[in-house]
């Protein structure tokens, strides 16, 4: 299981189906946790909820991740290489 803690806006977009992938910048930290790894599921949480708070937790099957380049205000004005993780 891999857990991703999200800002409320991104969590709500995933929950509504508007956002289909979550992104993590390619850094040694995320390479170690994502590249070449297999998990049974991906858990997305709205911040750091209590363990028994299902309204702030989404559990989806793990379908891997892929490297790609995106431009997003969260990462700054430049294109950045990220891991795209399907969460829909």
Per residue in 1-59, pLDDT (tens digit) is 899 999 999 999 999 999 999 999 999 999 999 999 999 999 999 999 998 889 999 99
For the question of whether the overall pTM of this predicted structure is more than 0.85, the answer is yes
Query: pLDDT value at position 52?
Result: 81
* Long-range CB contact pairs, 27-34, < 8 A, 24+: 30/83, 33/2, 34/2, 34/65, 34/83, 34/85
From the list 31, 56, 51, 42, the residue with the least C-alpha distance to 4 is: 42
Q: List, in order, residues 6 or more apart from 4 with CB less than 8 Å away.
A: 22, 24, 42, 43, 44, 45, 85, 87
Query: pLDDT value at position 48?
Result: 95
Query: pLDDT value at position 58?
Result: 95
């Amino acid at each position: 299981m891999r857990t991703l803690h999200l800002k409320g806006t991104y969590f709500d977009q995933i929950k509504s189906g508007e956002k289909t992938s979550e992104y993590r910048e390619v850094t040694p930290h995320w390479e170690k946790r994502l590249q070449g790894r297999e998990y049974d599921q991906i858990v997305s949480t709205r911040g750091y909820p209590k363990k028994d708070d299902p309204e702030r937790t989404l559990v989806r099957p793990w379908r891997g991740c892929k490297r790609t380049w995106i431009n997003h205000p969260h990462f700054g004005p430049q294109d950045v290489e990220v891991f795209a993780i399907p969460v829909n």
